[in-house]
Amino acid sequence: MTTKRKQPEKALQLYRDDKAYMQMLLDGLSLDESEEAEINKGVIKAVLDKYDEVLDCAENDKPFITSWFAYAAELFTAMGVPWFMFPQTAFLGIEAPHVTDDIDGAERLLGSDFCTVLRLSLYYVEADMSPTPSACIALLHPCDGTVMVHQAIKLGKWRDVPMFGADPPYWEDERSYEYYANEFRRMVDFVTEHTGYTLDIDRLREVCEESNKEYALWAEYNELRRVVPCPHDWTIGPPQCFAMATFYYPGKPGGAEWFKTLIANAEKRVKAGVSGVSGGEKIRMLWFDILPLMWQFDIQPWLESEWGVSIVMNMFGFTPYEPIDTKNEDTMFRGLSKRSLTEYPMIRQARGVADHFLTDIERIVKDYKIDCVVWPAHMGHKDGSANTGMMREKCRELGVPYLHLGVDIFDKRYTSVDEVKDMFSKFFSSTGLGQK
Amino acid sequence: METTVESKTLQQFQEATETIVNPELKKWIDQGGKVMGYFCSYGPEEVITAAGMLPIRMRATGSTSTELADAYLSSINCSFCRHCFNMGLQGDYDFIEGLVWLNNCDHVRRIYDNWKRKVNTPLTHMMSLPKMTTEVQVEWFHDELVNFKEALEKHLGITITDEKLREAIKLHNETRRLLRQLYELRKKDNPPITGAETLSVVVASTAMPKEKFNQMLKELLAELGDAEGITDYRARLMIVAGILDDPAFIKVIEEQGGLVVTDSMCYGTRIIWNEVDEGANDPLTALARYYIQDKPACPRMFDTQPQRSKFVKDMIKEFKVDGVIGERMIFCDLWTGENFMLGRDLKEEGIPFLKLDREYIMAGAGQLRTRAQAFLESMGR
């Protein structure tokens, strides 16, 4: 099946450039034979695989789709349909130096208080900086922004791209899981109609079994992060685990192997009592949301070196996942539906009632021996920020200090790095954590 | 700019809009009537009426501060929510028996989480509102209505019969019909009522017993029927907005000569333009179909943008609109997206369009005045 879709050359060149950039990083790491380097090499190879897949489709007129991590990518793996993350361009390393200009461009479309990741996604489509897929799976939760950005995209450059949205219920019960599972069945039909890829249930079983191994290994790794000191710093672990399990290798054999490498290294470090923080771990932090992706190198190393902060867990590294029951088609769809409604990060907390914000904080603080909780309050996470009082009260009840920052994870002009550092310094000083 | 008719009824509607507990609501409460609040135009008023309670739409009219709410919400939450929750915290809504929410937007749905923990309202209920509009979603919302009905029955110790539901549907349809008659008058070259005055009437319809409201609106319609009409305007405008419940906002625009003749608002055409099927076998199915498929959709309904845009364009033709103002509350992603899309659509049609941001409590009237003046001038008016 061919798509007969004209691809924006600017987008393809951008992705080729980023692939070359990632290859350069991989080549640089080849000189490093440490186990930690092997872990990072595994992730970069996964990124390169994804680029190869998407570029091959785009350059050779083969069908491919765009979707989100929250749509049970095991289905796409089982169907064999190539896909990339809808906001992918916003995460390209090669584009990072230009991101503030891009944000200014996005502001002309959707203003200044709409989630930056989402307005950038619209901007990149409008500016011909995103490949044009054969079909788009629109995410209709966990926030208002996702619903609106997909509708806006449908009016512009992707006017002719077929779009599907699965209607997310607000509840967590069997009625909701069944409803959403049926939405997934419609999604599979939609993908088949527009790409020609079909779903074989036996293949889905194999994929879910492989996926179950990944999630079990991820949970095993998290057990090791509970140890004091935490064996890995912020660069290794949670964000990588999330990326590998949910969109690079969902149900693919390479995923489980990577997790085993990660665990083996963490075990050695735990046995040796080695901290991930080079100067020693003094403060164990829960960063309860996404890390400040576009300026994390401005803040995370400083937190480590200045205060001995170990970000033991973040929202994306937490593993509340249940294995998918592979008994039959219904149990697999039910399991993928439940995972997509109640387990993936951000969706779990932000989609429905606010309870998971509180129960997750409690679980993580207790299990991971957390000293303080940071709610970064990304400017797009309005529903989460409406829970800040409840989260503060929960932390007070647990006896851990709570810090509400107020940042844009993409734009350090929103709250400057100096301001963020100042907030942290005052927080650690006033709570006594800085004296540890 | 104001109507040429001296109407005591209109004055009563305006007074009802300026307070939360208006005289008719107070009378209802004093007589032992129970009141249930709802937060969104998808709130199923008919079920509340069928339960013998008075449905009122939540507003924060008269609020002057958010200091209590600010301990729980944040500065990126919309000011409507912060003011409403603040009023809840300081006891201004202690008179209500219950409150029902839907997950209509990220801000309002979180008031539910905070309210149920911090305010002692006897009954709080949340409903899951779909984001698609097919038969599957009608069925889902039907079940949500059943759950809501059962929650009311359990709380009040009553049975809500189909007959009661049918009566309520008829009553609420009559309100919609009468309000549409009011809008019909605005199609005239010289409409007998302003946009600000009309907004008062619509807000009042969500704040007092429907029987009384309908009776009063019939009186007003009779008064306006033969009125001379407003002639001193520079342009006919349409407002597209979410929860604009403050007539003062429109009044500032109209003082510049832009007569607002129609709208697509949650306190406007989107709650009155269609009716619930009174002849359906199952009244809850009829209600589900109305709210999911028949009612002009909110931007959060994913697959409805073409219909939403068509609705606005049809209004422009029917009401001979010269320009459109798209209003949104700061931090509202739904209306940010909607105004972006509508702006593009209207540009293609050559229809002047102005985007305006606002806070819930009317502030910056001077700036609004300037923007409105500039808009009218840009239209050559």
What's residue A3's pLDDT?
A: 58
Residue A2 predicted with pLDDT over 60: no
Say yes or no: A53 and A163 in one domain: yes
Asked whether residue A118 is domain-assigned, the answer is: yes
Tokens representing B36 are 């249930």
Q: Is the peptide bond preceding residue A63 cis, with omega within 30 degrees of 0? A: no
Q: Which one of A144, A146, A186 would you mutate to disrupt binding with B, by most B Cβ within 10 Å of its Cβ?
A: A144
Do residues A258 and A42 lie in contact, with contact meaning Cβ atoms separated by under 8 Å? yes
Residue A144 predicted with pLDDT over 90: yes
Say yes or no: A162 and A229 in one domain: no
Total tally of structural domains belonging to chain B: 1
Range of the domain at A425: 201-319+353-435
Whole-structure pTM value: 0.96
Range of the domain at B58: 20-162
A5 min Cα distance to partner chain B (Å) = 24
Asked whether residue A406 is domain-assigned, the answer is: yes
Say yes or no: A164 and A34 in one domain: yes
Give chain A positions within 8 Å (CB) of B337. Answer: 110, 114, 144-145, 147-149, 151-152
Cite the beta strand spans of A73-185 per DSSP E.
83-85, 135-138, 163-165
Among B307, B304, B342, B308, which Cα is nearest to B325's? Answer: B342
Residue A129 predicted with pLDDT over 80: yes
Residue A5 predicted with pLDDT over 80: no
Asked whether residue B191 is domain-assigned, the answer is: no
Q: Choose one of A141, A170, A195: the last residue of a domain.
A: A195
Q: CATH no. for residue B98? A: 3.40.50.11890
Q: CATH no. for residue A34? A: 3.40.50.11890
Asked whether residue A416 is domain-assigned, the answer is: yes
pLDDT tens by residue, B230-259: 999 999 999 999 999 999 999 999 999 999
Determine the average pLDDT of the residues in A385-398.
98
Whether residue B25 lies within 8 A of chain A, CB to CB, comes out as: no
Asked whether residue A340 is domain-assigned, the answer is: no
Q: Choose one of A195, A217, A244: the last residue of a domain.
A: A195
Q: Choose one of A195, A215, A250: the last residue of a domain.
A: A195
Among A193, A272, A204, A238, which Cα is nearest to A345's? Answer: A238
Asked whether residue B90 is domain-assigned, the answer is: yes
Do residues B110 and B77 lie in contact, with contact meaning Cβ atoms separated by under 8 Å? yes
Q: CATH no. for residue A230? A: 3.40.50.11900
Asked whether residue A302 is domain-assigned, the answer is: yes
pLDDT tens by residue, A252-265: 989 999 999 999 99
Whether residue B333 and residue A114 make contact (CB cut-off 8 A), yes or no, is: yes
Say yes or no: A40 and A182 in one domain: yes
A245 min Cα distance to partner chain B (Å) = 28
Asked whether residue B34 is domain-assigned, the answer is: yes
What's residue A296's pLDDT?
A: 87
Asked whether residue A332 is domain-assigned, the answer is: no
Give chain A positions within 8 Å (CB) of B127. Answer: 170
Interface predicted TM-score (ipTM) of this complex, two decimals: 0.96
pLDDT band at B227 (very low <50, low <70, confident <90, very high): confident
Mean pLDDT of chain B: 96
Among A6, A140, A10, A23, which Cα is nearest to A86's? Answer: A140
Determine the average pLDDT of the residues in B323-333.
97
Say yes or no: A162 and A247 in one domain: no
Whether residue B109 lies within 8 A of chain A, CB to CB, comes out as: yes
Whether residue B248 lies within 8 A of chain A, CB to CB, comes out as: no
Whether residue B88 lies within 8 A of chain A, CB to CB, comes out as: no
Tokens representing B314 are 């049809």
What's residue A6's pLDDT?
A: 85
Find the closest chain B residue to A172 by CA distance: B128
Whether residue A113 and residue B77 make contact (CB cut-off 8 A), yes or no, is: no
Residue A242 predicted with pLDDT over 60: yes
pLDDT band at B214 (very low <50, low <70, confident <90, very high): very high
pLDDT tens by residue, A310-348: 999 999 999 999 999 999 999 999 999 999 999 999 999
Asked whether residue B36 is domain-assigned, the answer is: yes
Whether residue B333 lies within 8 A of chain A, CB to CB, comes out as: yes
Say yes or no: A181 and A214 in one domain: no
Question: What count of other Cβ atoms lies within 10 Å of the Cβ of residue A1?
Answer: 11
What's residue A1's pLDDT?
A: 62
Choose the weakest-confidence range: A92-101, B179-188, B279-288: A92-101
What's residue B3's pLDDT?
A: 75
Asked whether residue A17 is domain-assigned, the answer is: yes
pLDDT tens by residue, A145-174: 999 999 999 998 999 999 999 999 999 999
pLDDT band at B174 (very low <50, low <70, confident <90, very high): very high
CA angle in degrees (0–180, nearest 5) for A168-B139-A65: 35
Total tally of structural domains belonging to chain A: 2
pLDDT tens by residue, A158-215: 999 999 999 999 999 999 999 999 999 999 999 999 999 999 999 999 999 999 999 9
Whether residue A113 and residue B128 make contact (CB cut-off 8 A), yes or no, is: no
Asked whether residue A106 is domain-assigned, the answer is: yes
Whether residue A383 and residue B106 make contact (CB cut-off 8 A), yes or no, is: yes
Q: Which one of A110, A116, A151 would you mutate to disrupt binding with B, by most B Cβ within 10 Å of its Cβ?
A: A151
